Amino acid sequence: MRTVPIKSEETQAAASVFRVRELLIRQRTQSINALRGHLGEYGHVVPQGATNARRLVALVEDEDMELPVAARASLLALTTMLAQLEQQIAALDAEIARRARENPVARRLMTIPGIGPLIATAFATLAPPPELFAKGRDFAAWLGLTPRQHSTGGKQRLGSTTKMGERSLRRLLIIGANSVIIKRHCHASARPGTWLAGMLERKPAMLVRVALANKMARIVWALMKNEEAYRAPAVAA
C-alpha cells in the first residue's frame, strides 16, 4: 500500500491554482453551450468549440439581429459572465507560466515534446515524489494510462486503459500527446522511422494518443527521478 505524502502549505496553494482553473474552464464551457443552445432556438447556428465563442458574443451584441428584448438581456448577462471567466482564466495561466519559469522540475519537463508550462507545472505540483514508484510503468499506472489486465493461464490479455488514476494529470498528458500528433511535422519524435510514426501508420489515432501519453508519463517519471533534461531518441535508419 502506497501512503500519500504530506503536502506543504505552498504545495496545496499551488494545487489550488489548477483546481480553480479547471472549475473556471467548466463554467466557461457551460456558458458557451448555453449561448449556443439559446441562439440555436432563434435559428442562429454556430459550430461547437471554444474558438467560436467570439461568434456567439458577436451575434448577441449585434443590434441588427432579430432577438426578443427579454432574450437579448438574458444573453448579454451570459456574454458578460463569459468575458469575466476568460479574464480570470488568463490571469491564472499567467500565474502558472510564472511558476513554470521559476520551478527547476517544470523547466526540465518542458523539454519533452507536447509538454508546456501548464502540464509541466501541474506534474511538478500535483505528482507525488518519483521515489515512490519503482519504475516508470508504475507511475503510468498511477495515472490510469496502462491497459487493464485480463491475463490467465499464462496468456496475456490486455483490455482498455483503466482510467482509475489521477484524472487531471491523465487528461493533460493526453492533450499534450494530441498536440504532438497534430503538429507531428514539427517534432523530431514523429519523423519517419520513429516509434510514433510507425504507430500512426498501424493504429487508430485515439489509440496512438493514449499510447503516446503513456510513453510521456514514463519519460516524466525518468526526468523527475534522474533530474535530467529530455533527449530525443535516435531515428532508425
Q: Is the pLDDT of residue 69 over 90?
A: no
**Residue percentage of the chain with pLDDT more than 90:** 35
Query: Average pLDDT of 30-42?
Result: 91
**Same structural domain, 18 and 117:** no
**Same structural domain, 44 and 146:** no
Number of domains composing the chain: 2
**Same structural domain, 91 and 158:** no
**Residue 2 lies inside a defined structural domain of this protein:** no
**Same structural domain, 233 and 139:** yes
Question: Of 74, 102, 130, at which residue does a domain stop?
Answer: 102
Question: Of 40, 69, 102, at which residue does a domain stop?
Answer: 102
Q: Is the pLDDT of residue 188 over 90?
A: no
Which grid coordinates are listed for 58? 458577436
Instruction: Identify the pLDDT of residue 165.
Output: 66
**Same structural domain, 74 and 119:** no
1 or 129: which carries more pLDDT confidence?
A: 129
Q: Under the phi-then-psi rule, with left for phi > 0, alpha for psi from -120 to 50, and beta for the rest, what region is 28?
A: alpha
Q: Summarize pLDDT for 7-31 with one digit per residue, the tens.
A: 777 778 778 888 899 999 999 999 9
Confidence of residue 67 (pLDDT cuts 50, 70, 90): confident
Confidence of residue 85 (pLDDT cuts 50, 70, 90): very high
**Residue 58 lies inside a defined structural domain of this protein:** yes
**Same structural domain, 48 and 141:** no
**Same structural domain, 159 and 231:** yes
**Spatial contact of 232 and 188, defined as CB atoms under 8 Å apart:** yes
Confidence of residue 200 (pLDDT cuts 50, 70, 90): confident
Question: Of 33, 67, 102, at which residue does a domain stop?
Answer: 102
**Same structural domain, 235 and 137:** yes
Q: Summarize pLDDT for 92-110 with one digit per residue, the tens.
A: 999 999 999 999 999 999 9
Q: Is the pLDDT of residue 208 over 80?
A: yes
Instruction: Identify the pLDDT of residue 32.
Output: 93
For 92, 205, 214, the CA distances from 192, given in Å and listed in that order, are 38, 16, 21
62: domain range? Answer: 7-102
**Residue 225 lies inside a defined structural domain of this protein:** yes
Question: What is the rounded radius of gyration, in angstroms, for the C-alpha atoms of the chain?
Answer: 22
Taking Cα atoms as reference points, which of 5, 36, 222 lies closest to residue 129?
5
Name the pTM for this structure: 0.79
Residue 134 DSSP class: S
**Same structural domain, 98 and 190:** no
**Residue 96 lies inside a defined structural domain of this protein:** yes
Query: Under 8 Å CB-to-CB from 100, ≥6 apart: which residues?
Result: 106, 107, 110, 117, 118, 120, 121
**Same structural domain, 61 and 130:** no
